[in-house]
Structure 1
């Protein structure tokens, strides 16, 4: 299958690397493509057309005043995972933009954070075929105790690129 866009083509080539090399290659690529994500130490664990998993170690540079991953760093994880996924599915003549980022912090997060974002085949098809639209991207955040300390809603839109 031909890639949908340049980003999908690059990710498809990275995904042909041996499994042990993929997270580092994906993380380096996205750290260069989206410099802010590179500064935080986000690690792209896996990425394909329907699913993205990224993680962030609870290190000093991303901590809050009580030693946990900062709330905004957690939101960046969710925005990054959903954005990478949407970016993989939106054709090159469209631009993805975050429309809504809603977070409810329900309990104190412990340790490292892992985020998983998913798109259904129907969402992927809409992004590929509709000139513009929006969709809520399913996303969950887990801490090192496998708890979900934050409930997140991320709504992404896509529109034609301006000429």
Structure 2
């Protein structure tokens, strides 16, 4: 399953408006992704970035992007990276979300996820995916780590 999303991204993103089309399809993958309407900008092994708009629908009581909306964007970026990077014979599952809120999310945000190739070479085991949300003025509003557990795919198991 993991490689299928990345393969779809590679095929669709080449088309006119392909990244927008892929972004819509990807936002349907998990219903909470759709709440932030991610616009996928780049996906490759060990790196993914997308943007989320500063819309009233995802504001908090002080008029900035809600912390959970930002986390949804970060998790969407993490998922793209994991699907583009995880070896074909393995699968991944998030174990949590550890973030620090450094500044108010007052603008659109660029959500970035990054790893290093050696992290995936050392699996099965945990991979800590670094994430950050950057405002349009370059200020990092949120940063943290999303730990994922990488395990071998079962072999020979009947499919359900």
TM-score range (shorter-chain normalised) is 0.7 to 0.9
Query: What RMSD, in angstroms, separates the aligned Cα atoms of the two structures?
Result: 2.1
Contact 2:97 2:145 in 1 (8 A): yes
> Residue 137 of structure 2 corresponds to which residue in structure 1?
145
- How far apart, in 1, do the equivalents of 2:74 and 2:107 lie? 16
> Residue 89 of structure 1 corresponds to which residue in structure 2?
85
1:46 is the counterpart of 2:42: yes
SS of the counterpart of 2:95? strand
> Which residue of 50, 53, 69 corresponds with 1:57?
53
Structure 1 unpaired stretches of 5+ = none
1:98 is the counterpart of 2:94: yes
Normalising by structure 2, we get a TM-score of 0.83
Contact 2:127 2:150 in 1 (8 A): no
Greater helix fraction, Structure 1 or Structure 2: 1
- How far apart, in 1, do the equivalents of 2:55 and 2:84 lie? 29
1:159 is the counterpart of 2:151: yes
> Residue 15 of structure 1 corresponds to which residue in structure 2?
13
